[in-house]
């Protein structure tokens, strides 16, 4: 089957986000199963993604033709000013301006590509992508819309044009069951399927029982306010004097303003040798293998992939009980702890794990078994392949 994955809502080249990681993993799995897979993207340059991609997967930048850029990826200045002015009053209005005018820029190029490629089915990675495909390229090829954020967090922010485009897709894939009623509220009649993210087997498992000179609490993800790494740093600071053989490590994009402010705070506290910032890494498995506890205090997640990966590596995990995308993955008291977003609650959970290596081992192994049962790659790719075939067949008949 000819499958096109459309990634047109954000940049692609060397981007290390969760959407890009899932896209590369899915493309690799589908091409390995004998499908012909292509990816279209839009970016200021042509190039490779951050994550490994099978060489059999073809990539096309719709803004380029014969190696030369022919379409700008940015709005004209007057429209950018209009968009930012609109954003002061309404995020949805700003989204609408983006969707309308970028669609005009990209529509014909997308249409030309579809006419030459003739895919059997399209997987859209974002709501803006669906809008460009349906409204601007005017395709009638069946589209599976992927939703990487929790619908409760994403659907209310979509512009009217984007929401209407999503509603006209053949089916919407969500990551967790709690997303289904939200989709039905915003997009009545749209078929919904739950398929979680595939969690790859850990290259090396954590070794919680081995006696160490020092122990590590780790957190993986772009440093930003949503993931609340500053709160974790503050909690650790309150424990640092008592637990002198424990350190805290942050891994992920640390070039954000949020990260810069965090680093200043850590330096003022004199903890720069105890709280470490590793930046992006291609060797996240090594981070998990060295870790003793994984803690992610996000306010919202589509699917806590880093949490699930840590569990697969055999690490006990801590997350917030009100965080969708995390509270459906962590089994409280079994694979880790779900806590209130408060310093005393987080401190209490950390103490239990820091003081008890046997508990770390037991919870870590429970988490590993759970992830291998629910999110092993073959199970997820089987679900995706069935959805693709069912959708293509339904639209042919």
pLDDT in tens, the chain (397 residues): 999 999 999 999 999 888 999 999 999 999 999 999 999 999 999 999 999 999 999 999 999 999 999 999 888 899 889 999 988 888 888 888 988 899 999 999 999 999 999 999 999 999 999 999 999 999 999 999 999 999 998 999 999 999 999 999 999 999 999 999 999 999 999 999 999 999 999 888 887 667 788 999 999 999 999 999 999 999 999 999 999 999 999 999 999 999 999 999 999 999 999 999 999 998 999 999 999 999 999 999 999 999 999 999 999 999 999 998 999 999 999 999 999 999 999 999 999 999 999 999 999 999 999 999 999 999 999 999 999 999 998 877 6
Cβ atoms of 258 and 177 within 8 Å: the answer is: no
Helix (H, G, I), strand (E, B) or coil at 38: strand
- Strand 293-295 versus strand 317-320 pairing type: parallel
Whether CATH 3.40.470.10 fits 215-374: no
Cβ atoms of 23 and 5 within 8 Å: the answer is: yes
The DSSP H or E segment spanning 395 is helix 377-396
Cβ atoms of 135 and 156 within 8 Å: the answer is: no
- Give the span between the Cα atoms of 144 and 193, in whole angstroms: 10
Sheet of strand 336-339: strand arrangement: 275-279, 246-251, 215-220, 293-295, 317-320, 336-339
For the chain, the structural domain boundaries read 2-198+377-396, 215-374
- 215-374 has the same fold as 2-198+377-396: yes
Residue written as token pair 């339904």? 394
Residue written as token pair 């850590």? 266
Other beta carbons less than 10 A from residue 14's beta carbon:
14
Other beta carbons less than 10 A from residue 287's beta carbon:
22
| The pLDDT value given to residue 369 | 97
Cβ atoms of 266 and 272 within 8 Å: the answer is: yes
| The pLDDT value given to residue 209 | 66
CB within 8 Å of 307: residues ≥ 6 apart: 294, 296, 301, 317, 319, 326, 329, 330
| Axis-axis angle for helices 305-312, 357-374 (nearest 10) | 110
Q: Which residues of 310-324 are buried (b: 16+ CB within 10 A; e: fewer)?
A: bbbbbbbbbbbeebb
For 299, the token pair is 């306010």
Cβ atoms of 275 and 262 within 8 Å: the answer is: no
- Give the span between the Cα atoms of 94 and 84, in whole angstroms: 7
What percent of the chain stands above pLDDT 90? Answer: 87
User: Any idea which fold 2-198+377-396 has?
Assistant: Rossmann fold (3.40.50)
Conformational region of residue 104, where left means phi above 0, alpha means psi within -120 to 50, and beta covers everything else: alpha
| The pLDDT value given to residue 388 | 98
């Amino acid at each position: 089957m000819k499958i096109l994955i459309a990634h047109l809502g954000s940049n692609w080249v060397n981007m290390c986000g969760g959407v890009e990681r899932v896209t590369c993993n899915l493309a690799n799995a589908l091409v390995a199963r004998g499908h012909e897979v292509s990816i279209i993207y839009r970016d200021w340059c042509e190039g490779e993604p951050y994550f490994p991609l099978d060489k059999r997967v073809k990539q096309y930048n719709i803004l380029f033709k014969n190696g030369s850029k022919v379409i700008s990826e940015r709005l004209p200045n007057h429209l950018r000013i209009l968009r930012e002015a609109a954003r002061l009053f309404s995020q949805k209005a700003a989204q609408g301006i983006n969707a309308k005018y970028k669609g005009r820029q990209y529509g014909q190029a997308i249409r030309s590509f579809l006419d030459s490629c003739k895919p059997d089915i399209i997987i859209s990675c974002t709501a803006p992508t669906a809008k460009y495909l349906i409204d601007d390229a005017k395709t009638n090829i069946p589209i599976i819309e992927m939703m990487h954020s929790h619908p409760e967090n994403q659907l209310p922010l979509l512009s009217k044009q984007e929401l209407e485009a999503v509603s006209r897709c053949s089916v919407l894939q969500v990551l967790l069951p709690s997303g289904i009623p939200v989709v039905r509220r915003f997009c009545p009649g749209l078929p919904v399927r739950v398929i979680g993210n595939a969690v790859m087997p850990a290259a090396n498992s954590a070794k919680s029982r081995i006696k160490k000179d020092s122990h590590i609490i780790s957190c993986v993800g772009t440093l930003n306010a949503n993931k609340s790494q500053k709160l974790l740093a503050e909690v650790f600071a309150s424990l640092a004097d008592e637990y002198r053989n424990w350190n805290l490590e942050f891994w992920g994009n640390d070039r954000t303003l949020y990260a810069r402010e965090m680093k200043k705070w850590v330096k003022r506290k004199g903890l720069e040798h105890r709280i470490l910032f590793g930046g992006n890494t291609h060797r996240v498995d090594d981070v998990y293998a060295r870790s003793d506890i994984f803690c992610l205090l996000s306010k919202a997640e589509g699917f806590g992939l880093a949490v699930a990966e840590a569990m697969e590596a055999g690490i006990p995990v801590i997350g917030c009980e009100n965080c969708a995308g995390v509270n459906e993955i962590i089994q409280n008291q079994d694979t880790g702890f779900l806590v209130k977003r408060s310093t005393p609650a987080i401190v209490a959970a950390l103490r239990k794990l820091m003081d008890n290596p046997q508990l770390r081992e037991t919870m870590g192994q429970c988490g590993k078994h759970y992830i291998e049962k629910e999110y092993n790659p073959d199970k997820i790719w089987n679900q995706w392949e069935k959805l693709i075939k069912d959708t293509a067949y339904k639209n042919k008949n």
